[in-house]
Amino acid sequence: MIRARMLVLGAVVAAALAGIVVLAGGTLPWTEGSSSPDCDIPETVSGTAASAASAPGGGGVKVVEQGFTQEPNSAVSIGAVLENTGGVVAYRTQVTFKLFDAAHTELPDAGKPGLTVEIPVILPGQRIGTGSGAYRGTPVASVEVGLGMTTWQPRDTFGKAFSPVTAGYLRTARFNPRIPTSVDIHYREVSSNCRSLDNRLTAVVFRDAAGKIVGGDVAAPDTPIIFRDEHGKDLGGDWQRPASPSCSQGERETWIVPPGGEPPTADDARTTIFPYCDIAVR
């Protein structure tokens, strides 16, 4: 669902921002890292979906921070931080973003009930960011970040070797000075897992200079992309994929281009990145 939404939203934003071109070819194949013989991370997990807000034994996934920005061009950037306060793993947690006007009337997207993101794994005690981009012609007065279903799993189900893939912000590039909100965000990703995992997009959360969340988004990492001005002149970008894909073993520098752009009040240095890495391929 989220992959389809990203494709549609990406097409709209590309037209609005002008001059972002995704490069489909011309890249070298990746060499995947192999898992160690004693790797105990499973390739499948099964279970029954239940409410993400209530974990077995107490606690659950909670929204601990959220914020949004609507720009004059009607682009809306939404960001949030979630925490798993339960003692078990939340697997494939659904998060929904709903937008409301001043009268608290929902502003749906072409009749759809809301924007949905799925987070693959949230360990007990872990905090993880999420976000979404949207367009609304009506002024947005408030945003609701809701929790859907998840599959609760014991920690041991994922193997003792499983650990979250981490990301450290490196820099933000703006290739077109006329569109400063169109950004290319680089980060360093590290995975200490004993085998490669499967990427389910990457989330970014934006904060202002005071630390308040002002937006966020999700996007596919590693995608070759160039920026062009209104005359079609190449301004720069990332022409080839990184040496290894997001969520694979080891360390790499990679990037994302948020389809909704970056809010103008965001402080680059406070940008946080969250790779969505799943143990299983769909």
- What pairs with residue 132 in β-bridges? 78
User: Which residue stretches of the chain have pLDDT < 70?
Assistant: 1-35, 110-114, 282
Which class is 2-278 in CATH?
Answer: mainly beta
Neighbours of 46 (CB within 10 A): 10
Q: pTM value?
A: 0.87
What are the φ and ψ backbone dihedral angles of 13, each rounded to 5 degrees?
A: -70, -40
Q: What is the pLDDT of residues 131-187, one digit of tens each?
A: 999 999 999 999 999 999 999 999 999 999 999 999 999 999 998 888 888 899 999
Q: Distance (Å, rounded) from C-alpha 68 to C-alpha 56?
A: 32
Residue 222 makes CB contacts below 8 A (sequence gap 6+) with 199, 241, 242, 245, 246, 254, 255
User: Token digits for 29?
Assistant: 């194949």
- Residue 235 corresponds to which amino acid? L
Q: Are the beta carbons of 76 and 69 closer than 8 angstroms?
A: yes
User: Token digits for 127?
Assistant: 């905090």
**First CA to last CA distance, the chain:** 13
